A = this chain, B = another copy of it.
């Protein structure tokens, strides 16, 4: 029996942040030339060294004059001014010649009589007042004036202000130096594994270092990535000793040490113990999910942070703790994410005692912003990139009901949410293609989809939770979708628009080793099946076909083993978890499976009529009806596109 660790006490997020923030800043200042200063942070207030402008200058193109010499000029009694002594041509920005104090714009300057003056004089027809059209010295900046406070991040605009103020080598914080040490005997460098090795699973590609390095740099730090250290306490101890060596002033020493994985409560969790051995373990385990198995230690006086191994956990812990520390050392707080009240698409359960952070996609449907949760696993790294926002379920709660007032922190721009079309319902690969084409044509818009099956989509539509639903529900009358719409969308007006005809069939292993010939073979005892969830069109089709064959659903081995998308059904067959599943041809082609056609079904979009004039939906329909979408579907295979984009049926319930 191996030794297991348990978390004696989980530290709250504010307490964990206070602990890590108690490490004083090791950052000294350094002078950098402006050319290299963009993105750096001022370590002291910037004080103007010169005034801007540094002299009285012309604010217009025209002539510089002494205002007093123009007094009394009028249209009937113009004043003549001698060029070179009383009037001087100046361009915008040029310094005023000595003793002049006003500029008369070029349009109001007239040639004096050339016959008399030989072009050496001009004439003006109105008086100038002193300092008209003059940019006075120091109008923008005055020497010695503090212009930018300490802690300012130098961006393009700040470069301009510093340059104008003659601060050509601002004092900025040196960048915090962070070392990231991946650990784990099962990890291999990204790119070193063949697809076969990946599928065998003996080694996993290490890419947290890639993500965290980018986050460190975004927080103003300098990241050093060390090679993967195997799960050997001695090797990890040696790495940690080396990483924490040196004083903050030595240029090769690190300010913050991040050690990745090995910090879960698993058997290979050495980090916390090593912190304790080499220095002090400040906490182990924080009240957040994902991110719980985070440890903080003090080794050689320096902060050493143990991040969990799963990508979403590692990112969450990094952002809550390391990013906050790096920013604080530079006199800043991390820019808070804007918050938005949202309506939950479905209740969210959670474990009390942990603040659960759920990534969601968001879309503005009518007046409300609807939040649909993404898969919550700490390993679902795609959810990091897909999420529009995060909903936090407080540690004291067991979840959020549909009635709870809920706010989402925005990860993407608020405008992206206003511009996103929310489709909820059945999953199909063509939706990702549609999203990509939509963005190519209209960079502002995007299609965000949540997959809950056809029936779930119609119900979401009825509840005003999405703009449209993808559906392929075969009715008892043999007609697709219409009966289900009548049953679920009473009182609504919707349009049923064909996205594509899809081939559905049995997905079986390449070469079909069990020689499955059709649905009837699913009842054979050695055939394991993977099903789709209740309410999905594919399941309805299966049940319809089984009934035709007179087969009892429960006679299928695996009828209750459910997946939520075609692709995951295909992956289950490809991975050997099941021998057969029902799905679209595209999924079989994608994973090199054999495909036994069962029939062609109609995959339609159900759109609330009130959204048909919405520019987002108009843009979407125009893409669906364009030639590019059809040709991409044809390339994918398994689709009929003859009626793609056609209005199949209008329903006013």
- The chain A residues found within 8 Å of chain B, CB to CB, are 1-2, 4, 34-35, 38, 45, 49-57, 59, 61, 89, 91-95, 101, 106-107, 111, 119, 122, 130-131, 135-152, 155-161, 163-166, 168, 186, 190-191, 195, 198-202, 204-205, 207-208, 210-212, 214-215, 217-218, 264-268, 309-311, 315, 327-328, 331-333, 335-336, 338, 375, 377, 379-386, 413-415, 429, 432-433, 435-436, 439-440, 443-444, 446, 561, 565, 567-568, 570-572, 574-575, 577, 587, 589-591
Known: A92-B309, A163-B205. 6 other contacts (CB 8 A): A135-B379, A136-B577, A140-B375, A163-B190, A163-B210, A331-B440
Instruction: Decide if B52 touches A186 in the complex (CB within 8 Å).
Output: no
Instruction: Decide if A160 touches B210 in the complex (CB within 8 Å).
Output: yes
Question: Whole-angstrom distance between the alpha carbons of A265 and B107 in the complex?
Answer: 11
Instruction: Decide if A136 touches B267 in the complex (CB within 8 Å).
Output: no
Q: Which residues of B contact A218 (CB under 8 A)?
A: 155-156
Instruction: Point out the residue from B149, B159, B211, B380 that lies within 8 Å of A439, measured CB to CB.
Output: B149
> Smallest CB-CB separation from A131: which chain B residue?
B561
Report the minimum CB–CB distance from A52 to chain B (whole Å). 7
Report the minimum CB–CB distance from A325 to chain B (whole Å). 13
Which of A137, A155, A385 has its CB near the most chain B CB atoms (within 10 A)? Answer: A385
Q: Which residues of B contact A142 (CB under 8 A)?
A: 565, 567-568, 570-571, 587, 590-591
Report the minimum CB–CB distance from A40 to chain B (whole Å). 12
Question: Whole-angstrom distance between the alpha carbons of A572 and B142 in the complex?
Answer: 10
Q: Which residues of B contact A131 (CB under 8 A)?
A: 561, 577
Interface CB pairs A-B, < 8 A, 6 = A92-B264, A92-B309, A137-B571, A157-B384, A159-B214, A160-B381
Instruction: Decide if B141 touches A382 in the complex (CB within 8 Å).
Output: yes
Report the minimum CB–CB distance from A131 to chain B (whole Å). 7
Instruction: Decide if A415 touches B336 in the complex (CB within 8 Å).
Output: yes
Report the minimum CB–CB distance from A123 to chain B (whole Å). 11
Instruction: Decide if B138 touches A568 in the complex (CB within 8 Å).
Output: yes
> Smallest CB-CB separation from A139: which chain B residue?
B377
Q: Which residues of B contact A59 (CB under 8 A)?
A: 377
Instruction: Decide if B61 touches A138 in the complex (CB within 8 Å).
Output: no
Which of A91, A94, A218, A591 has its CB near the most chain B CB atoms (within 10 A)? Answer: A91
Q: How often does this chain occur in the complex, in copies?
A: 2
Question: Whole-angstrom distance between the alpha carbons of A141 and B570 in the complex?
Answer: 12
Question: Whole-angstrom distance between the alpha carbons of A205 and B51 in the complex?
Answer: 12
Report the minimum CB–CB distance from A429 to chain B (whole Å). 7
> Smallest CB-CB separation from A268: which chain B residue?
B91
Instruction: Decide if B34 touches A381 in the complex (CB within 8 Å).
Output: no
- 7 A-B pairs with least C-beta separation: A138-B571, A95-B201, A144-B590, A55-B201, A163-B207, A137-B575, A156-B214
Instruction: Decide if B561 touches A140 in the complex (CB within 8 Å).
Output: no
Report the minimum CB–CB distance from A148 to chain B (whole Å). 6
> Smallest CB-CB separation from A149: which chain B residue?
B436
Question: Whole-angstrom distance between the alpha carbons of A96 and B465 in the complex?
Answer: 39
Instruction: Decide if B136 touches A443 in the complex (CB within 8 Å).
Output: no
Instruction: Decide if A137 touches B53 in the complex (CB within 8 Å).
Output: no
Instruction: Decide if A139 touches B375 in the complex (CB within 8 Å).
Output: yes
Instruction: Decide if A148 touches B439 in the complex (CB within 8 Å).
Output: no
Report the minimum CB–CB distance from A17 to chain B (whole Å). 14
Instruction: Decide if B159 touches A210 in the complex (CB within 8 Å).
Output: yes
Q: Which residues of B contact A89 (CB under 8 A)?
A: 2, 267
Instruction: Decide if B95 touches A147 in the complex (CB within 8 Å).
Output: no
Instruction: Decide if A164 touches B207 in the complex (CB within 8 Å).
Output: yes
Q: Which residues of B contact A590 (CB under 8 A)?
A: 142-145
> Smallest CB-CB separation from A165: which chain B residue?
B382
Q: Which residues of B contact A571 (CB under 8 A)?
A: 51, 136-138, 142-143
Instruction: Decide if B136 touches A55 in the complex (CB within 8 Å).
Output: no
Q: Which residues of B contact A383 (CB under 8 A)?
A: 140
Question: Whole-angstrom distance between the alpha carbons of A265 and B54 in the complex?
Answer: 24
Report the minimum CB–CB distance from A607 to chain B (whole Å). 21
Question: Whole-angstrom distance between the alpha carbons of A212 and B159 in the complex?
Answer: 10
Instruction: Point out the residue from B53, B333, B439 that lies within 8 Å of A201, measured CB to CB.
Output: B53
Question: Whole-angstrom distance between the alpha carbons of A101 and B530 in the complex?
Answer: 13
Instruction: Decide if A198 touches B34 in the complex (CB within 8 Å).
Output: no
Q: Which residues of B contact A268 (CB under 8 A)?
A: 91
Q: Which residues of B contact A163 (CB under 8 A)?
A: 190, 205, 207, 210-211, 381
Question: Whole-angstrom distance between the alpha carbons of A19 and B416 in the complex?
Answer: 25
Report the minimum CB–CB distance from A576 to chain B (whole Å). 8
Question: Whole-angstrom distance between the alpha carbons of A447 and B39 in the complex?
Answer: 23
Q: Which residues of B contact A384 (CB under 8 A)?
A: 157, 160-161
Task: Knowing A211-B156, A572-B137, say if A161 contacts B309 (CB, 8 Å).
Answer: no
Instruction: Decide if B375 touches A443 in the complex (CB within 8 Å).
Output: no
> Smallest CB-CB separation from A169: which chain B residue?
B191
Question: Whole-angstrom distance between the alpha carbons of A157 and B577 in the complex?
Answer: 30
Q: Which residues of B contact A440 (CB under 8 A)?
A: 149-151, 331
Instruction: Decide if B436 touches A150 in the complex (CB within 8 Å).
Output: yes
> Smallest CB-CB separation from A164: which chain B residue?
B381
Task: Knowing A186-B93, A315-B157, A591-B143, say if A443 contacts B331 (CB, 8 Å).
Answer: yes
Task: Knowing A166-B198, A198-B50, say if A439 contacts B377 (CB, 8 Å).
Answer: no
Instruction: Point out the residue from B53, B140, B191 that lies within 8 Å of A168, measured CB to CB.
Output: B191
Instruction: Point out the residue from B139, B311, B332, B568 that lies within 8 Å of A164, measured CB to CB.
Output: B311
Instruction: Decide if A160 touches B385 in the complex (CB within 8 Å).
Output: yes
Question: Whole-angstrom distance between the alpha carbons of A382 and B536 in the complex?
Answer: 60
Instruction: Point out the residue from B101, B311, B439 that lies within 8 Å of A577, measured CB to CB.
Output: B101
Question: Whole-angstrom distance between the alpha carbons of A202 and B57 in the complex?
Answer: 10
Question: Whole-angstrom distance between the alpha carbons of A136 and B310 in the complex?
Answer: 15
Q: Which residues of B contact A160 (CB under 8 A)?
A: 207-208, 210-211, 311, 315, 381, 384-385
Q: Which residues of B contact A145 (CB under 8 A)?
A: 429, 432, 567, 590
Question: Whole-angstrom distance between the alpha carbons of A249 and B475 in the complex?
Answer: 56
Q: Which residues of B contact A310 (CB under 8 A)?
A: 92-93
Q: Which residues of B contact A156 (CB under 8 A)?
A: 211-212, 214-215, 218, 315
